[in-house]
Amino acid sequence: MAELRQDPEGWRRWGPYVAERAWGTVREDYSANGDPWSYFPFELAASKAYRWGEDGLAGICDRYQVLVFALALWNERDPILKERLFGLVPNQGNHGEDVKECYFYLDNTPSHSYMKWLYKYPQREFPYADLVDENLRRAGKGPEYELLDTGIFDDDRYFDVFVEYGKASPEDIVVKVTAWNRGPEAAPLHLLPHLWFRNTWAWSGEASSEPIVRAGTPGAGFLTIVADDRTADPLKGLPVIYRLGARHLYVEGAGRLLFTYNETNAPRVWGPSAKSRRPYVKDAFHRHVIHGEDAVNPDEVGTKACAQLRYVVPPGGSVSLRMRLTPGRLEAPFADVDKVLAQRKAEADEYYKAIQPEAASEDEKLVQRQAFANLLWTKQIYIFDVNLWLEGDNPKWPPPPSRREIRNSHWRHLNSMRILSMPDKWEYPWFAAWDLAFHCVPFAVVDPDFAKEQLWLLLFEQFQHPSGQIPAYEWEFSDLNPPVQAWAVWRVYNMDRIRTGRADRMFLEGCFHKLLINFAWWINKVDRAGNNVFEGGFLGLDNITLFDRSQPLPNGTVLEQSDATGWMGMFCLN
């Protein structure tokens, strides 16, 4: 933690900043009617390149998501590779976003020097259609139809797939995947670690140089993938030239390497007459591994690659795969992988022992540590330039004009390439202003510097509106959320002061001045009768309201709600 404070970009440069769902989000929606679920459904996620950020299983990336590493799986029964989590959209289930998977965040540290994740992968064919069809049939009546209800895990026919990360140094990351067969019979399992560049080059219609992923020199008992962005145009919108240089992914074992480009399969997405930018496209690994198509690049080059390793795991047994992502060339990349993981795990144990209450039971400490792991795993890079999203990247292909009237037209200044704490990286892979304020209180226990940074970000000029309003969430940044930021700032400030013995007055004063502007904006939201009662807004008990309080009410009805006035009283006190 001392090194983390002295070099915040070092240990934090790489982390679990990859979303678990990028499809069906507002950012990826370029429809005329503002319906992200229909415009970019799960069925297109394997084939369509993302504009504003990637997703994956147990994914990690650098702090600007230039390069992404994540795991994919195949059980020789599924119709697609398991490279992202599945779930229902609101018109398929009995409530909003609903992930239908079993996965667990087991451990993490503020520096992400040690991380552990678990996914329960069925050995039978995953019931994609059954989950959708049965929940549609129930039409919101009765209990939800969950993954366990399908019988997919009967007889324990599943794999426990553990993924561990350890940082030998801020830039040198070791990875170990361990898959246990919990079933009664031997079962096949393909491990397909992916390494790819986020597509930052294909949107404007102008010529742009691209990074490259290629096969590296194999060694004794391992494969090598090299990712290099030195030939690519640097990221736009940054005050510095940001490049990663050459990165080597070493994969232990006898397998094969596959290469393609992180480009949209245009005929699959837009229709048979559309033409893809490249002959080898994003869904190539699905088509090649499962259907045997000649879909991968035989020249072993692209912007996306994976290693494919097949195992037959005995009942009750396990297989392990070790990897290393590092800037340099190594002759023996796995010599100290187990040692690094053990050392970082021991340091994590020591760290949590130091911050947890001595009086707590071992079970209570375990629950708290896993809660912190959940908090740390749900960091995500949030990439969104609202003005560019409204206007479109390519002047020759502008988005439908109606989009400007649907949402966020008054937030053109909002431009984010920040790491933010998400409510959930699948169900809510976007920041929510008041959720974030609450997240910062437990964050102040494990990483007070990150907590203070998060609270300041929403008050930063690239987020806070010139009027003083704090952006709510991407579905409508202008919606009203409870003004809890002042409470969170004061709480985090005092937690940090008590713990460190130092009062961060600069943080407090900076937030105070920006919160004064936000307070003035709120004061102008009083009711039209002048009774100092606040009208409208998505405030308070949002999950039990009888109607959408973010929308105008019929027949000129006005909602005067006591919770908003109460929140403003709390704002005054804070």
Q: Three-class SS of residue 63?
A: coil
**β-strand partners of 214:** 226, 301
- Which residue among 363, 384, 412 closes a domain? 363
How does pLDDT run across 472-481, given as a tens digit for each residue? 999 999 988 8
Are 357 and 438 in a shared domain? no
Q: What are the residue ranges of helices labelled H in 128-203?
A: 128-138
Structural domain contains residue 404: no
pTM, entire model? 0.94
Are 358 and 475 in a shared domain? no
| pLDDT the model gives residue 396 | 86
Structural domain contains residue 400: no
Structure tokens at 245: 């240089």
Give the confidence band of 208 by pLDDT, cuts at 50, 70, 90: confident
Strand ranges in 294-389 using DSSP code E only, listed in sequence order: 301-302, 304-313, 318-326, 379-385
Structural domain contains residue 414: no
φ/ψ of residue 504, rounded to 5: -85, 80
- Which residue among 306, 333, 363 closes a domain? 363
Q: Which of 536, 513, 512 is nearest to 524 (CA)?
A: 536
- The answer to whether the CB of 59 falls within 8 A of the CB of 93 is no
Domain hosting 221: range is 2-363
Looking up residue 204, the CATH number of its domain turns out to be 2.70.98
Are 350 and 440 in a shared domain? no
Are 355 and 475 in a shared domain? no
Sign for the pseudo-dihedral over CA of 510, 514, 520, 526: negative
How does pLDDT run across 140-180, given as a tens digit for each residue? 888 899 999 999 999 999 999 999 999 999 999 999 999 99
- Cα–Cα distances (Å) from 81 to 163, 164, 312, in that order, read 17, 21, 17
Are 225 and 312 in a shared domain? yes
Are 325 and 445 in a shared domain? no
Are 356 and 475 in a shared domain? no
Structure tokens at 142: 């009765």
**pLDDT average, residue stretch 377-400:** 95
Are 339 and 442 in a shared domain? no
Q: Which residues of 6-27 are buried (b: 16+ CB within 10 A; e: fewer)?
A: eeeeebbbbbbbbbbbbbbbbb
Structural domain contains residue 376: no
Are 168 and 302 in a shared domain? yes
Domain count within the chain: 2
How does pLDDT run across 18-57, given as a tens digit for each residue? 999 999 999 999 999 999 999 999 999 999 999 999 999 9
Structural domain contains residue 204: yes
| pLDDT the model gives residue 557 | 73
- Which residue among 363, 394, 416 closes a domain? 363
Structural domain contains residue 485: yes
- The answer to whether the CB of 61 falls within 8 A of the CB of 269 is no
Are 437 and 525 in a shared domain? yes
**pLDDT average, residue stretch 463-483:** 94
Structural domain contains residue 205: yes
| pLDDT the model gives residue 395 | 85
Sign for the pseudo-dihedral over CA of 156, 151, 123, 175: negative
Are 349 and 458 in a shared domain? no
- Cα–Cα distances (Å) from 152 to 84, 87, 159, 223, 316, in that order, read 18, 15, 12, 34, 18
Structural domain contains residue 120: yes
**β-strand partners of 72:** 192
Are 107 and 236 in a shared domain? yes
| pLDDT the model gives residue 550 | 63
Residue 535 CB-half CA count within 13 A: 15
How does pLDDT run across 338-385, given as a tens digit for each residue? 999 999 999 999 999 999 999 999 999 999 999 999 999 999 999 999
DSSP calls for 15-54:
ES--BS--TTSSTT---SS--HHHHS-HHHHTTS--SS--
Residues 553 and 537: their CA atoms lie apart, in Å, by 11
